[in-house]
Amino acid sequence: LTNIMERKNEARNPFFRVVELTDDTTDPEIWGKNFPLQFDGYKKTVDQTRTRFGGSEASHKTPTDADPRSIVAQSRLEEDPRLKTMWDGYAFAVDFREERGHAFMLDDQVFTERQNVVKQPGSCINCHASAYATYKKLGNGDIALGFQELNKLPYFEARKEITHPVACIDCHDSQTMALRITRPAFMTGIKAYKASQGVENYDVNRDATRQEMRSFVCGQCHVEYYFKGADKQLTYPWEKGLKVENILAYYDEVKHKDWTHKQTGAEVLKAQHPEFELFNQGIHSRAGVACADCHMPYKREGAMKISDHHVRSPLLNISQSCQTCHSTSESELKFRAESIQERTFNMRNLAMNALVQLIEDLKVLKEAGATDLELAPARDFQRKAQFYLDFIEAENSMGFHAPAEAVRILGESIDFTRQGQLALRETKSFQTGQLR
Amino acid sequence: LTNIMERKNEARNPFFRVVELTDDTTDPEIWGKNFPLQFDGYKKTVDQTRTRFGGSEASHKTPTDADPRSIVAQSRLEEDPRLKTMWDGYAFAVDFREERGHAFMLDDQVFTERQNVVKQPGSCINCHASAYATYKKLGNGDIALGFQELNKLPYFEARKEITHPVACIDCHDSQTMALRITRPAFMTGIKAYKASQGVENYDVNRDATRQEMRSFVCGQCHVEYYFKGADKQLTYPWEKGLKVENILAYYDEVKHKDWTHKQTGAEVLKAQHPEFELFNQGIHSRAGVACADCHMPYKREGAMKISDHHVRSPLLNISQSCQTCHSTSESELKFRAESIQERTFNMRNLAMNALVQLIEDLKVLKEAGATDLELAPARDFQRKAQFYLDFIEAENSMGFHAPAEAVRILGESIDFTRQGQLALRETKSFQTGQLR
Amino acid sequence: MRIKIIKLSVVGIAMGLAIGSAMGVGVYTFVYAKGYSYMTNDPQNCANCHIMNEQYDGWQKSSHKNVATCNDCHTPHDLLGKYATKASNGFWHSYYFTTNSFHEPIQLTERSREITEQSCRYCHQGMVDAISVSLQKEHTEEVSCIRCHRSVGHLH
Ligand SMILES: [Ca+2]
Ligand SMILES: [Ca+2]
């Protein structure tokens, strides 16, 4: 199968310079003049189609001045109100929707109600817009510097600095069209990760193979993150590794919390879209398969094969996305993917029910006047359990990217939750009948 | 085209009969005269080599009259004493060893100390010997009848009726060498299972494809089982399906227990080698891969290729067992298999630690005089948790046969255990401080 | 070559009757887009269709490069069957190629799968006699070679 990939990667295609592209050409429309086929695909990311667990559903809303969008993706909070309990006290409990195509990334970020709950920093922009030119501008040519400056700005200040959602220039070198990493947060993050694996001063744009780049460009955004310090520097917590336990250990060490849980007072964490991290624990990544192989499969356009820039759920395009490597029927491949997701979904529900119970127990005892000292162990278990559960809940493949690892993480989440409940039952307050 | 094929087959006479084999020829040595290559492989199952989680280790012992074996496989009870706690009160807590090659199946059964603990029935013989001829003899030609008779005998009576470990005739038709199911327990079991899937009166020897037979012959023994009723009829609990929850539901319905746990008084179950059941939940079986593909891969013998009858761990023979289908290095395949096993092993340990805690809690409260009524819920959770855990512990691939399913089962086992502990903390006896 | 053409046109006409309008397109490409390459044994000719490039490249890296050509594995080994198949493949692939109406990635049709399975045996009979069939069993089923040896002809 590696052979396939090698061969596929050889697929070269002529490229007629209709216009000159420079390192400052941000507008995809201009790039589109040289690469109309890729541009057509790119524009298709406005499509909204739902799959069993992915894609997205177009739900209509009446536009307001505050939020002019007439179509949004379905609300995950309405689909599963338990999420509100898990995130109580955090912006996500107010508005959290299914993600949709790249074309929407900018608007969805600007208009999410999460913006009204807290003042968001410019750091948010890094993954929701074509920020490359902005880095250069704010840093006078030094993107690392520009990145720092962008992070420091308040969100709506930063918003003024940018115009497009992720665009050609964020993934491509304008002269060679080669893939290129443009996100300083990823450069730093992957370097720290490699160091933890014994690879010193790793320079991703210098050292990564082409096949790796086909995943790394996505890993610039589809990852867990937090904002470090007062300057809100966007940081990927990979110093100790990419596994959920490594990341939690990192957060514990730097004493990071995303918020304090409203009902329990626990200092908790929110995991966000760790696609890259989970994917790295799966068989596909071990086998050298890249994000682009499934989400941007090669498709034939007349005489040439190009990468389908309509980035979307592979289950909407199984023949191109899967059958190049798996010689079995589309229905069978769909069945395999969905039974993996089904299994993950069931475990996720077990874990979430358990967590809701722990939160309830903590709440009751807290209101009954249990001391922080008494509640401390259970609160720490909540922090752990919640992060593990959210790591899979927030990951967007419903376990497909690494089936056994996903279920493993959910299993451990349940263990943490239950131990939290047990810890509470050792407390004086419980003995004195507070939970009944 | 099919006709062409058939004609070819008739024309073909792939083996020269040195001796005439009949449906009563049990001695493999005689079959070996016609098929020396397969026989050579068959004899090699005396080899003992250890892999990270499988194979087996030859440990020496001084032969006694009671047990003349000078070499046995390592004791699993010594490797992991928690097993004694889990099985307390059952024969397995006395002697349980790593399984080894087919050549040992008869002796290992005869001389296991489990024989000294309880009087075992003849039913045991079904999977540890060449029983086909014996069925015919005891049933005057009717193997279903002979099977029933064999089950009824006391073990050592039955032992007198047989001479060889599993032999050629147990898997092959003596005239055509076609695979054939000889075990009535499997015929009945698979029929009940197919019925649960909507396939009525399934006759395995009539309806199974050749590829299915390459797994079914193994599924005659590598399965979970129990002895039904006073006549100790060997039965496979597949009426509701092959998944762990289906099997537990069946046992609950027929109110079966294997024993009463010595420390807790719970009516518990012992799972035994459900390789066939777990394998059926995995990707390999979905993809039509059979047991024989990995455990009896084709090997080249001069100008011929034959099935390697040295049935063993595929990780001792990766090139032939895996590489024809997976074009990657041996070390990489070994790594993939072992990381799946590693993950399963860690979850197994979490689950077992939890279970040992539940057993301890139950024990303490029981001794403190808690009533059966109080303990009932926790005891049922122990039954569930223990069966789920044992389903993976007793399965011999350490999760490889179905990686995500194995971890899913262990995760649910943990949930049951912890709920059991929580249930105990709702009891009066606990309130009155018995666990401290 | 002469004989071939005759055989071909016979098949061609038969198909024409069966397929009617499709014929026009088919024949067109068959002639002009070198569909007749099917009539030769040189793999290079298969690659006349860029669509076959992937297999062609794969074949050159495969264990069979020096021992088997495309047609050794994709056409029956009896003469009539061989050219009938070539004609039919040539005709249909030409048709599909031009109309671009085929499933991608390209997959073997059931018929070609059978042909390919047989071709393995044509060369490897000796090697696989022992395993090929569980002998005279009723409703004999062959082992599928390509289930395990999918990539012998061109790496997949
Ligand atoms: Ca989505
Ligand atoms: Ca073993």
What one-character-per-residue DSSP string does B130-174 give? --HHHHHHHTTT-HHHHHHHHHHSBHHHHHHT---SS-HHHHB-T
> Crossing angle of helices A372-393/A330-367, nearest 10°?
170
Q: Which helix (H) or strand (E) holds A233?
A: strand A233-235
Q: What is the largest CA-CA distance in chain C?
A: 50
Give pLDDT, residue C22: 42
Both tokens of residue C77? 């080994």
Residue ranges of B 255-274 with Cβ closer than 8 A to chain A? none
pLDDT at A83 over 90: yes
Contacts 24+ apart (CB under 8 A), B113-116: B115/B155
> Per the CB < 8 Å rule, is B176 touching C141?
no
Give pLDDT, residue A433: 66
Mean pLDDT confidence for A233-254? 98
Q: What percent of chain A shows pLDDT beyond 70?
A: 96
Q: Which residue did the predictor score with more confidence, B63 or B433?
A: B63
Give bridge partners of residue A299 from the DSSP assignment: A306
CA of C29 to the centre of ligand 1 (A): 43
Are A382 and A264 in contact, with CB atoms under 8 Å apart? Answer: yes
Q: Which helix (H) or strand (E) holds A158?
A: helix A155-160
d(CA B150, CA B131): 9
The residue of chain C with its CA nearest to that of A7 is C54
> Among the listed ranges A213-217, A379-383, C126-130, which one has the minimum average pLDDT value?
C126-130
> Per the CB < 8 Å rule, is C103 touching A319?
yes
Q: Which residue did the predictor score with more confidence, C93 or B366?
A: B366
> Per the CB < 8 Å rule, is A3 touching C54?
no
B121 phi and psi, to 5 degrees?
-90, 170
Mean pLDDT confidence for C29-48? 63
Average pLDDT, chain A: 94
> Which of B10, B288, B306 is the closest to C131 by Cβ?
B306
Give pLDDT, residue A14: 54
What residues of A are in contact with residue C58 (Cβ under 8 Å)? Answer: 3, 7
DSSP state of A120: -
Question: For chain A, how big is the Rg over CA atoms in Å?
Answer: 23
pLDDT at C24 over 50: no
B176 touches chain C (CB under 8 A): yes
CA of B54 to the centre of ligand 2 (A): 5
Q: What ligand has the least distance to the C-alpha of A295?
A: 1
pLDDT at A337 over 60: yes
Burial code of A364-377, b = ≥16 C-beta within 10 A, e = fewer? bbbeeebeeebbeb
B2 touches chain A (CB under 8 A): no
Give pLDDT, residue C30: 43
> Per the CB < 8 Å rule, is C107 touching A1?
no
pLDDT at A9 over 50: no
Give pLDDT, residue C156: 74
CA of C92 to the centre of ligand 1 (A): 40
Mean pLDDT confidence for A155-180? 97
Give the model's confidence band at C19: pLDDT under 50 very low, under 70 low, under 90 confident, else very high.
Answer: very low
For testing the chain B interface, which of A332, A407, A422, A432 should be mutated: the one with the most B CBs within 10 Å? A407
DSSP state of C122: H
**Residue with token string 């048709």:** C95
What residues of A are in contact with residue B414 (Cβ under 8 Å)? Answer: 411, 414-415, 418
Give the model's confidence band at B433: pLDDT under 50 very low, under 70 low, under 90 confident, else very high.
Answer: low
Among A176, A165, A138, A132, smallest CA distance to A25 is for A132
Mean pLDDT confidence for C18-41? 46
What residues of B are in contact with residue A407 (Cβ under 8 Å)? Answer: 404, 407-408, 411
Residues 6+ apart with CB under 8 A from B167: B26, B27, B28, B31, B130
Average pLDDT, chain B: 94
What residues of B are in contact with residue C119 (Cβ under 8 Å)? Answer: none
> Which of A3, A299, A323 is the closest to C155 by Cβ?
A3
> Per the CB < 8 Å rule, is A3 touching C103?
no
Give pLDDT, residue A2: 36
> Per the CB < 8 Å rule, is A319 touching C104?
yes
Are B273 and B392 in contact, with CB atoms under 8 Å apart? Answer: no
pLDDT tens-digit map of B78-119: 999 999 999 999 999 999 999 999 999 999 999 999 999 999
Give pLDDT, residue B226: 98
Give the model's confidence band at C40: pLDDT under 50 very low, under 70 low, under 90 confident, else very high.
Answer: low
Q: What is the end-to-end Cα distance of chain A in Å, rounded?
A: 59
DSSP state of A179: B
CA of A108 to the centre of ligand 1 (A): 13
Mean pLDDT confidence for A221-226? 98
Mean pLDDT confidence for B164-172? 98
Q: Which residue did the predictor score with more confidence, A260 or A6?
A: A260
Q: What percent of chain A shows pLDDT beyond 90?
A: 92
pLDDT at B353 over 80: yes
Mean pLDDT confidence for B245-268? 98
CA of B273 to the centre of ligand 2 (A): 11
The residue of chain B with its CA nearest to that of A409 is B411
Say what the pTM is: 0.93
What residues of A are in contact with residue B425 (Cβ under 8 Å)? Answer: 422, 425
> Per the CB < 8 Å rule, is A7 touching C57?
yes
B342 touches chain A (CB under 8 A): no
CA of A248 to the centre of ligand 1 (A): 26
The distance of B320 to chain C (nearest Cα, Å) reads 11
For testing the chain B interface, which of C112, C120, C137, C151 should be mutated: the one with the most B CBs within 10 Å? C137
For testing the chain C interface, which of B2, B3, B5, B323 should be mutated: the one with the most C CBs within 10 Å? B5
Give pLDDT, residue A11: 45
Give pLDDT, residue C11: 42
CA of A249 to the centre of ligand 1 (A): 29
> Among the listed ranges A332-341, B13-22, B328-337, which one has the minimum average pLDDT value?
B13-22
CA of A26 to the centre of ligand 1 (A): 26
Both tokens of residue A24? 């400052």
Whether omega before B237 lies within 30 degrees of 0, making that bond cis, reads no
A234 phi and psi, to 5 degrees?
-65, 120
Both tokens of residue B173? 């038709």
Give pLDDT, residue C133: 56
> Per the CB < 8 Å rule, is B408 touching A412?
no
Among A394, A314, A294, smallest CA distance to A49 is for A314
d(CA B433, CA B369): 12
> Per the CB < 8 Å rule, is C147 touching B288?
yes
pLDDT tens-digit map of A263-300: 999 999 999 999 999 999 999 999 999 999 999 999 98
Q: Which residues surround ligand 2, an ion (CB under 5 A)?
A: B 54, 56, 98-99
> Per the CB < 8 Å rule, is B419 touching A418?
yes
What residues of A are in contact with residue B419 (Cβ under 8 Å)? Answer: 418
pLDDT at A38 over 50: yes
> Per the CB < 8 Å rule, is B305 touching C137?
no
pLDDT at C137 over 70: no
CA of B39 to the centre of ligand 2 (A): 21
CA of A215 to the centre of ligand 1 (A): 18
Give pLDDT, residue C90: 79
pLDDT at B47 over 50: yes
d(CA A341, CA A143): 39
HSE (side-chain half, CA atoms, 13 Å) at C80: 2
Give pLDDT, residue A435: 62
The residue of chain A with its CA nearest to that of C147 is A327
Give the model's confidence band at B249: pLDDT under 50 very low, under 70 low, under 90 confident, else very high.
Answer: very high
> Which of A3, A346, A421 is the closest to B422 by Cβ?
A421
